Amino acid sequence: MSVQPQARRLTLADLGKRHQAGEKLVMLTCYDASFAALSEAAGVELLLVGDSLGNVVQGQDSTLPVTLREMGYHTAAVRRGSAQAMIVADMPFGASQISPEETFRNAVPLMASGAQMVKLEGGEEMAETVRFLVSRGIPVCGHIGLTPQSVHQLGGFRVQGKNEADAERLLKDALALEAAGAAMLVLEAMPATLGEAVTNSLCIPTIGIGAGAKTSGQVLVIYDMLNISAGKKPRFVKNFMAGAASVQAAVAAYVQEVKAGTFPSAEFSY
């Protein structure tokens, strides 16, 4: 009788090896146990418990009302539903735009709920906080470009880094976050050329959402790519449900296209 090795959860070291090997990384948002199990079975490597749950689960018009307690609740559900995928949890609005010490305190319940990494929005100004968390055992994913928690400051959900000065600032932000110890960086809504330039300037993987095909991996909001979220969708969202026989087949098609580097094509890029 042969004993099958138990599937184990993806670690930062595994992720680093895949990135070094030039493999594209597949991330998808996830808010509950059922979608966690389904996404993992379809090959998703990174489950992001995004504060986009404010929009797609709670019906809010922004991510701002989402609380730390709610993030912990959904993170725990995703953890229970999965066995292999790496779990990344968003720091909600107000939980990280404070001192490094308080941010650490706020990250603790997310890690205790099963996250392996927290994601926080912002550039160079977050570097000190990132350094503080990382040096105390909490892996951090940065998030630059269109940062939805700053929607009122940005004046809407707009593509970022379109002019030279903004592009340079974003590149500087990315380098500062990497130097502070961030393990990964989400790049949201920027020209594909900038997504590529930032990716090529870093050693850590970049995960794009509307940042072109040359980032190290991709992420989408699951309800968007299944075409079940309400309202107009951003250009970078592809409806993977079209022509798919099941939800799992749609997620598997997304995984396959990201791994092959065929998603996003120019149609879904800026």
Instruction: Catalogue the active-site residues.
Output: 188
Rule CB under 6 A: say whether 219 interacts with ligand KIV: yes
Rule CB under 6 A: say whether 218 interacts with ligand KIV: no
According to DSSP, residue 151 is labeled H
C-beta atoms surrounding 256 within 10 Å: 15
Rule CB under 6 A: say whether 106 interacts with ligand KIV: no
Tokens 């892996």 map to which residue?
A: 139
Q: Which residue's CB is nearer to ligand KIV, number 191 or number 210?
A: 210
Residue from 26, 38, 50, 195 touching ligand KIV (CB under 6 A): that is 50
Rule CB under 6 A: say whether 52 interacts with ligand KIV: yes
Look at residue 81 and give its three-state secondary structure. Answer: helix
Spatial separation of the C-alpha atoms in residues 70 and 94, rounded to whole Å: 13
Residue from 186, 211, 252, 258 touching ligand KIV (CB under 6 A): that is 186
Spatial separation of the C-alpha atoms in residues 115 and 85, rounded to whole Å: 11
Residue from 221, 250, 252, 258 touching ligand KIV (CB under 6 A): that is 221
According to DSSP, residue 143 is labeled E
Rule CB under 6 A: say whether 71 interacts with ligand KIV: no
Structure tokens at 61: 């018009």
Shortest Cβ 22–ligand KIV spacing (Å):
22
Reported as type and span, the H/E element at residue 16 is: helix 12-20
Q: Which residues would be at the binding site for ligand KIV (CB under 6 A)?
A: 29, 48, 50-52, 90, 143, 186, 188, 209, 219, 221
